[in-house]
Each structure stands twice: as structure tokens, then as C-alpha cells.
Amino acid sequence: MNSLFPKTLIPSTSLSSSTRLTLTPNSLRHFKLHLPRLMSSDSSHRLFQLKLDPLTGNSEWVVIEDNDDLPDCSKEPLLATTSYLDMLNDSFRNKAFRSGIERTVTKPRHVLDIGAGTGLLSMMAARAMGLNGTVTACESYLPMAKLMRKVLHRNSMGKAISLINKRSDELEVGVDIPSRADVLVSEILDSELLGEGLIPTLQHAHDKLLVENPLTVPFRAVTYGQLVESTYLWKLHDLSGIEAKVSDGIHLVPTGSDSIIHVKSRQYPMHCDAIREEIKPVQVQVIDDGNIHAVVSWWVLQLDREGTVFYSTAPRWINSPANIGYRDWCDHWKQCVWFFRGKGMSVSQGEEVLLEATHTETSVSYNLNVQVPKTDTRQHDHNIRDFQLLLSPERIAIYGDSKWRSSVLAAVRNALQGRVNPLCVVVDDSIFLTLLAANLSKTSHVLSLFPGLREKGAQYLENVVKANSFSMDRVEVREKRKPCLTLHDTHGKKVDMLIGEPYYYANEGMLPWQNLRFWKDRTLLDPILSEDALIMPCKGILKACAMSLPDLWSSRCCLGDVEGFAHSIVNTTLGACGELPAPKEGPFLPFSIWQCGEIKELSEIFTILEFDFSKPISSCHGTAQVKFIEGGTCHGFVLWVDWIMDTDNSIVISTGPEHRYWKQGVKLLSKPVAVGINGCNSNSEYGSTIVEALFEPSSSELILKHAFL
């Protein structure tokens, strides 16, 4: 049970039929059509895209018109945070689709490409037909369609391919396309396979846009599942079980209400190779005792009808057949993890386990059954309250982490010492801080803003109030969002404590410094703070480290030719790093560094900026020079925020790479740089670097400059 390396109980290639789903384009059942969340105007070819200001939480609609001037010179490239660039850098994927198309499209035909992106598959099909057939490319996302026009023009394919900026279910034969298509090429896939609406899109195409028995690339998709035992995965979803091991008096999940906080029942994309040393496969025929915590799933595409071209998203610890092989690290298609509720299913040698997989039009779900005597008492708790709060797996793991809890508890306890009848405002979405402040001081009044949770936060507190030994007459949740609090909202009393983790509900994927929204909120509340008001955290420290990130850099680097088609024109728009024309550079991107393939720290961890929350928000500037402590190739800088929770600087919550529940910000270099210890190994190596940073709150931007010495 304590083995770190995956222990194979039965070879993973011998999975039963209950652990796989097979989808072929010609064997689809009818499903209700899936409509994504878009706001557009077909008559004017205009798209409205939602833009969020991370420091205020406010959002606005940005209008994108249909013209040829794509705003790729902006400081925040429109498509930089999408997976297009990573996908185009996946050479294994590109070669597989090229081979599949060339084996399928062997003579002039009418080819329909749904979800055409940059037009790569359309151009492959046109080339395979010697430019003699007909290719119709359908791309509904206006910015991508505009970019595709440029790619087609650069490759002299504008006349060979007809581009239509519509959803495929809006196309009509005889209106948009001349006839039903003979061949369908498409790549509307996500890590789960079905999440981008694959089934309803293909069903509509077969019903309305394709001939009988059309050729398709890909031809077939098969989803595989592997039952696993993993303490790490268990911590991502079973807060009740984890909290039972903590004795701090705070009960986020009271006894008997195991499901009041849990993750949404869905598949979660994850780089499962990063936890290969921490999981133990559990097979359908159990031959060893253990606990089943989750199912890891992946899919395999068969690109051609004959079954000679494949693409797999399997983790490397799965024994894939030689004709499928393994791809390089990439981020656009990961494996998926489905959590089983509670502490996991305990299984014993000799038990028969049945894994049932079912799918809707957009998702795959799993159910685990074990053949046990009817008198067996191992059942999930069915005493579930009507109210349930859904949190992300990482947030549940943080709330269950004993070190994190003890640090926050100590900070709040120290802050409350000597304060009588304090008014404490929880400015973010922290239910944990709300419970702490109410529990540790029997005279405090707690006002929680819950800007993201809102009424869900209030409902949660009402369900856990008794278990945490306080009454709701001392806790208030502001349910209506207002620009800022006034003394009227606080009943004439000034705020004694303003606290946050900081954590903003549903914003875990943002860059670390975008949690400086806490500083912005503190500034707005400045008029109602008492003279000796305590702000927690007291400071934020922007930390950084120069790192070798070869896999991540390769997935985000500039494109040249992709399977013979020029793509350099997309680099700036897609936020590439590499040979960009000055002064353009790649954007900051949020990543869980520990999941980014091969990584290596090359410098000491250093401080760039300090944010003093005792003062209103302002611009910050900092410079640091750091020496390299390891030789290697530097691909970029990894940045994060350490939150200083007390005025003595003794309690620090770090969100750095060694803490796996937070994402860091990554700034990739335009070109990898060889570095060494003091630069002594070679004249071509650099021994140190100077890093300069500027944080500008008016634009929510962090600007980073560097020079190697």
C-alpha cells in the first residue's frame, strides 16, 4: 500500500470492454444539439467577446468586427491563452492527421473541414487532391477565421479553399456549400474527447451536410480508463476524509454532511505522467488489497479506415502498442481524472469490480460497482443536505492541507488578540477565514463580501454554523454587489480587521499577481478602515526563479512550416515565444509548473517586487540581479506570490512551484539561453541575470524585462 511506483496488478492492456468507449462517425445516435455560449450577429459578422478586469472583477463586452485587421499587435494577443499554438507545435498530431488525410483523400472530392482553425487540415486535403477537388472550411470563431484567411493567402490557398465564418449547424446545402461533402475532416476534440460538442456536430453533419457513408478523418475514437489508487488524487476531492485527520476545531465539512463541499462530477484534465510515482493501478480483476480513488482516462484516435495511423493521449506509464507510440509533452490534450466520492472504494483480493462508462452528447462519466455481500456496510454516506457547494479540486486540497490551515489559523488568532468586539471584513471568497474569525472570537462581528460565492456562501454558512460553535447573528454576508462598502453597510462602525487568503471563487486559472484584487478591494475600503485596522495578508512578495523548461518552451515556440505550410504569420496573434520581431514578445501564461514535463531550477529564488497592503494600491517597480546555481539552458522565468500573513513576517503562504495546488506565471524567453555557474564553463554561457519588473494597477499588467550577464 505504500509503494510509490505504480504497481501493476493486471497488465493495463488487458482492459475489459466495460472500461472503453468506441465512437465512429457512422454509428452515432441522435442527440440534442449542443449550443456553446457565444454572442454574435450573423448579419454584420460581428462577435462580442467578454473581457474580465482581474483587479476589479468587472467585465465588459468587446466588439470584434469582420475585417482583415486582426489586432495581433496588442499587449495581450487575443488568442494567446488558447490551445491553438500548442496544438500546432504537436508534430506527432500534425503527422498523424497528414498521413490520415493522404490515405483517405486519394482523388478529387468535396471535403468539408469543421472547426478549421488556421486551415491546416483544409490545406492538407487540398494538397492531397492536387488542388483539383473542392474544400469547404467552416470556422465559427471570428478572430480565428480572420487569421485563417491570412494563412491561406500566405500559402497561396485562398482560391483552393472556401472559408465560411459560421457554425457548421448553420450551413445549408445549396446556400453555403454547393453540395453534400464526400469527406469530413475535423478536430473538434478536447482532453475528454467529447467536450467541444463532437457528437452533436458530427451528427448534424451526417444528417445535413455529408453524403451517405462518407469518408472521415479521423475514422474512430476509443476512450480507455484505468482505475488507480493515489493519495494525491484523494486529497483533491475528499475534504471530509482529510479534515478528519486535522484537529484545529474548524469543520468545513461537519460530521454527517460529507457532501456539503465537493468537486463537480466531471472529468478533470491533468498531466498524469507528473504523478506516475504516486499512483498504483487497480485492475478490473483485483489481485491485491487497495483503495480505488479515481479513474484516469485517455483516448486513441484511428485516423484512417484501415487502422494504420493512430494518435494517443495515453500517459507514458501505460503500455501502448508499438504502432501507436507516445507523443511528446504537450498541453492541449491531457489525460482526464474522474474522482470517486469519499475515501475511495476499498477492494480486496478476489473481488470483481465493474467500471461502467456512459456518455452524453458532451461528456463521459463513470460509475464503480463491486460485487459484495448485501450485508456489507461499505456504502457512501447518503445523509446529504439539500445544499452543496462545488469547489475546484485544488481548492479542496488547500482547505484540507494541515500546514496551510495551521498557518492561517495562527495568523488570525494572533490578529484577534486584544481586540474587543472587532468588526472583521472578509473581502474575498474565503469560507475558511469566515469560520475562523467567527469561531476564534466570541465577540467579533464578521462581514463576508463573498464577491464570487454570494448567496451560495451565505447558504453554506447557515449549514455549518452549529458545528463551528457560532451563531449567524454575528455573521453577515453581503448578498448584493455594490461598488464598495460604506459606514451604512457596517452599521456606523469602522472596520478593525480586513482579511483575505486571497482567494476569488472560480478564478483559480488566473496569473498569481491577479489576486492583487485583494489590494484593490482594500483600497476601495480605505475610507471605512479604523486607524489601527489590521490588514491580512500584510504584504505580497513577487518571487521568481530562472528555469529550464524545454517541453513547455517547445510547445509555445514560434511556428515556421507546419507539415509544409507556412505558419509564421500566426505567431504574434497566438502568443508564441521565439523569433518574434522586436519589440513583440510572448505573454505571461498560468501553468502548474510541476506538470510541465522536464523542469529544472537554474537560479536561486529571488524577490522582484513587494506589495505593501497597509497602503492603498499603487505602481510598483523592482530590480534584482541573481546568479545561476546550475548550468543548463534557460527557457524563461517562473513567477509567483508569497503572501505574508502577519506583521512579524513569520507566517508565509507560498504559492511557488513546490506547492502543487497553485498555478504560477511563466514568462518564456524569445530564445533559450545557455547559462552556467558564474559563466565559467564556456564563453557562450551567462553567469547571472538582471530582472526588472513593473506592476501597473491601472492596466492590471506586470511588465518584465531582463538582461543576461
Residue 535 C-alpha cell reads as 490588514
Beta strands at 589-591 and 664-675: parallel, antiparallel or unpaired: antiparallel
Q: Are 179 and 172 contacting, i.e. CB atoms less than 8 angstroms apart? A: no
Half-sphere exposure of 619 (CA within 13 A, CB side): 7
Distance CA(630)–CA(649), nearest Å, equals 29
Distances (CA, A) of 242 to 245, 293, 417, 547, 699: 6, 13, 29, 33, 40
| Overall average pLDDT of the 277-281 stretch | 87
pLDDT in tens, 586-598: 889 999 999 999 9
In the structure grid, which three cell numbers stand for residue 425, read together?
471584513
- Of residues 75 and 326, more confidence is placed in 326
Strand ranges of the sheet holding 46-52, from the earlier edge strand across to the other edge: 39-41, 46-52, 59-65
pLDDT in tens, 630-643: 999 999 999 999 99
Neighbours of 258 (CB within 10 A): 22
Cell numbers given for 49: 467577446
DSSP secondary structure code for residue 615 in this structure: S
Dump pLDDT digits (tens) for 484-505: 889 999 999 999 999 999 999 9
Query: How far from 222 is each of 24, 25, 64, 270, 272, CA to CA, in Å?
Result: 9, 12, 38, 19, 19
Stronger pLDDT, 584 or 193, i.e. the higher one: 193
C-alpha cell at 451: 464577491
* Beta carbons of 641 and 515 less than 8 angstroms apart: yes
- Lowest-confidence region among 86-100, 251-265, 271-285: 271-285
pLDDT of residue 380: 39
pLDDT, mean of residues 565-576: 94
Query: Rounded to the nearest 5°, which phi and psi values hold at 406?
Result: -65, -35
Which neighbouring-strand residues pair with 339? 294
| Residue 29: closest CA among 204, 214, 203 | 203
Are the C-beta atoms of residues 639 and 664 closer than 8 Å to each other?
yes
pLDDT digits (tens, 9 = 90+) for 373-395: 443 333 333 444 468 999 999 99
Mean pLDDT over 461-472 rounds to: 91
Is it the case that residue 9 has pLDDT exceeding 60? no
Q: For 412-453, what is each residue's pLDDT tens digit?
A: 999 999 999 999 999 999 999 999 999 999 899 999 999 999
Pairing of strands 561-562, 565-566: antiparallel
Q: Using CA atoms, how far apart are residues 448 and 441, in angstroms rounded to an integer? A: 15
DSSP 460: H
State residue 49's pLDDT score: 64
| Nearest one of 274, 313, 294, 316 to 365, comparing CA atoms | 294
- Quick: pLDDT tens for 119-144: 999 999 999 999 899 999 999 999 99
Q: Which is higher by pLDDT, 355 or 234?
A: 234
The pLDDT value recorded for residue 682 is 58
CB 309 within 8 A of CB 103: yes
Residue 19 has what pLDDT? 47
Burial of 524 from C-beta contacts in 10 A (0-12 / 13-18 / 19+): middle
| pLDDT value, residue 374 | 40
> Which helix (H) or strand (E) is 167 found in, with range?
none
Per-residue confidence (pLDDT) for residue 22, from 0 to 100 = 55
How far apart are the C-alpha atoms of 684 and 669, rounded to whole Å? 17
pLDDT in tens, 11-55: 333 233 334 555 554 433 222 222 233 344 444 456 666 677 777
Q: Alpha-carbon distance 490 to 254, whole Å? A: 30
Task: Calculate the CA 592 to chain-centre distance.
Answer: 9
- So what's the pLDDT on residue 571? 93
Q: Which residue has the higher pLDDT, 13 or 300?
A: 300
Model confidence at 369, pLDDT cuts 50, 70, 90, reads: confident
Percent of the chain with pLDDT over 70: 85
Mean pLDDT for the chain? Answer: 87
Q: b vs e for 144-169, b when ≥16 Cβ sit within 10 Å of the residue's Cβ?
A: bbbbbbbbbeebebeebbebbbbbbb
Q: If we measure between CA atoms, which residue out of 565, 562, 561, 559 comes closest to residue 153?
A: 565
Asked, as a colleague might, if the bond just before 218 is cis with ω within 30 of 0, I would say: yes
Which residues are part of the catalytic machinery? 187, 196
pLDDT at position 692 is 97
Q: φ, ψ for residue 156 (rounded to 5)?
A: 55, 40
pLDDT tens for each residue of 195-232: 999 999 999 999 999 999 999 999 999 999 999 999 99
Grid cell 484523494 in the structure block, residue: 234
Residue type, 655: T
The per-residue pLDDT for 453 is: 94
| Domains of the chain, CATH where assigned | 83-217 (3.40.50.150), 223-315+326-369 (2.70.160.11), 401-536 (3.40.50.150), 539-708 (2.70.160.11)
Residues 355/368, Cβ–Cβ less than 8 Å: yes
| Mean per-residue pLDDT, 293-303 | 96
CA–CA distance, 260 with 254 (Å, rounded to integer): 8
How far, in Å, CA of 289 to CA of 397, rounded? 25
Residue that is written with C-alpha cell 513547455 in the block: 552
How far from 31 is each of 138, 197, 357, 534, CA to CA, in Å? Answer: 21, 11, 18, 56
Under DSSP, is residue 1 helix (H, G, I), strand (E, B) or coil? coil
DSSP result, 529-584: EEEEEEEES-EEEEEEEEEE-HHHHHHHBPP-EETTEE-GGGTTTTT-BSSPPTT-
Nearest partner of 261 among 279, 243, 285, 280, judged by Cα: 243
DSSP per-residue string spanning 378-422: --------S--EE--HHHHHHHH-HHHHHHHHHHHHHHHTT-SS-
pTM of the model: 0.89
Reported as a pLDDT band with limits 50, 70 and 90, residue 247 is confident
Q: pLDDT band at 683, cuts 50/70/90?
A: low
Please tell me the distance from the alpha carbon of residue 250 to that of residue 439, in angstroms, as a whole number.
8
Residue 292 β-bridge partners: 345
| Rounded distance between C-alpha atoms, residue 123 and residue 561, angstroms | 13
Q: pLDDT-derived band of residue 1, with 50, 70 and 90 as boundaries?
A: very low
3-state helix, strand, coil in the chain (%, to 5): 25, 30, 45
Q: Which of 59, 165, 180, 60 is nearest to 117 (CA)?
A: 165
For residue 619, give every residue at least 6 positions away whose Cβ sits within 8 Å of its Cβ, in sequence order, or none: 694, 695, 696, 697
**pLDDT-based confidence at residue 7 (cuts at 50, 70, 90):** very low
Output the pLDDT for position 342. Answer: 87
What pLDDT score does 700 carry?
85
**Confidence at 305, pLDDT banded by 50, 70, 90:** very high
Residue 343 has a pLDDT of 86
Mean per-residue pLDDT, 456-476: 92
Q: Would you state the cell numbers that stand for residue 441, as one nine-digit string?
A: 472570537
* Range scoring the smallest mean pLDDT among 17-31, 186-200, 288-302, 618-632: 17-31
Closest C-alpha to 1, from 338, 288, 352: 288
User: In the chain, what percentage of residues exceed pLDDT 90?
Assistant: 71
pLDDT top residue among 523 and 8:
523
Task: Give the number of other CB atoms < 10 A from CB of residue 523.
Answer: 17
10 Å CB burial of residue 688 (0-12, 13-18, 19+) is middle
- pLDDT, position 39: 41
pLDDT at 362 over 90: yes
Q: Are 347 and 282 in contact (CB under 8 A)?
A: yes
C-alpha 49: how far from chain center: 20
- pLDDT (0 to 100) of residue 42: 46
- 680 pLDDT higher than 60: no
Three-state DSSP state, 358: strand
